[in-house]
């Protein structure tokens, strides 16, 4: 259903990309609607089938984490790209976390306090080394894939379904720019917060 709506929007609503749609946000909204709808209609997550191979659930999370992190290990050697230089310079020019989170430099076209705070923390924790920021981006992407795996297991009610969802998210090429380009790390944080919220929402609605 989610894929059908996205294809419809891409084909009929925004065929020429005149509207700045965010398909990741659209997907999250549709998943949230599905969770709420299933909960309101009495859906309760079922335990995975007992005939699943022993250890599949126990090792599934490790497989998802490896799939999400291994392809991006080479990013640790990339260094800074494009806007990364300006963001790092703004972080280093900040006297403290509050100033970093509230900067309004002309370079910073978007106000992203949390992301700028992370950039500032990086100047203190790993002296602004690009490898430190890249390691953080890979870690957050791996966490996101794990959250998709957990959410998938609860919604699909099978470990196989959750594993396929987690692996698809981990390995999909649409994430390459977000994980590789440090200036796009705000998307990683947004996804992490959104998935965590969806998981908490699903848990609350299915147990209330």
More confident residue, 5 or 188: 188
Model confidence, pTM:
0.75
How much is the mean pLDDT over the chain?
A: 78
Average pLDDT estimate for 30-57: 59
Q: Which helix (H) or strand (E) holds 142?
A: helix 130-156
pLDDT at residue 90 above 90? no
Whole-number Å distance between alpha carbons of 40 and 30: 15
pLDDT band at 34, cuts 50/70/90? Answer: low
Q: What is the pLDDT of residue 19?
A: 45
Q: How do residues 145-185 score in pLDDT, each as one tens digit? A: 999 998 888 887 788 888 888 999 999 888 888 999 998 89
- Residue 9 per-residue DSSP state: I
User: Percentage of residues in the chain with pLDDT exceeding 70?
Assistant: 70
26-47 core/surface letters (b: 16 or more CB in 10 A; e: else)? eebebbeebbeebbeeebebee
């Amino acid at each position: 259903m989610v894929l059908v709506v996205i294809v419809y929007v891409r084909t009929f609503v925004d065929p020429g990309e005149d509207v700045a749609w965010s398909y990741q946000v659209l997907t999250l909204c549709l998943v949230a609607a599905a969770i709420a709808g299933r909960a309101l209609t009495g859906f309760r997550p079922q335990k995975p089938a007992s005939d699943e191979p022993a250890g599949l659930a126990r090792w599934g999370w490790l497989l998802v984490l490896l799939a999400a992190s291994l392809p991006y290990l080479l990013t640790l050697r990339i260094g800074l790209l494009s806007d990364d230089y300006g963001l790092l310079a703004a972080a280093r020019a900040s006297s403290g976390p509050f100033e970093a989170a509230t900067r309004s430099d002309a370079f910073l076209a978007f106000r992203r306090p949390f992301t700028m705070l992370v950039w500032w923390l990086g100047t203190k924790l790993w002296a602004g080394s690009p490898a430190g920021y890249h390691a953080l981006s890979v870690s957050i992407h791996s966490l996101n894939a794990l959250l998709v795996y957990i959410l998938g297991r609860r919604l699909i009610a099978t470990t196989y379904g959750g594993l396929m969802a987690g692996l698809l998210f981990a390995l999909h090429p649409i994430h390459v720019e977000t994980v590789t380009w440090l200036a796009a790390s705000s998307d990683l944080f947004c996804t992490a917060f959104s998935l965590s919220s969806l998981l908490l929402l699903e848990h609350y609605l299915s147990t209330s």
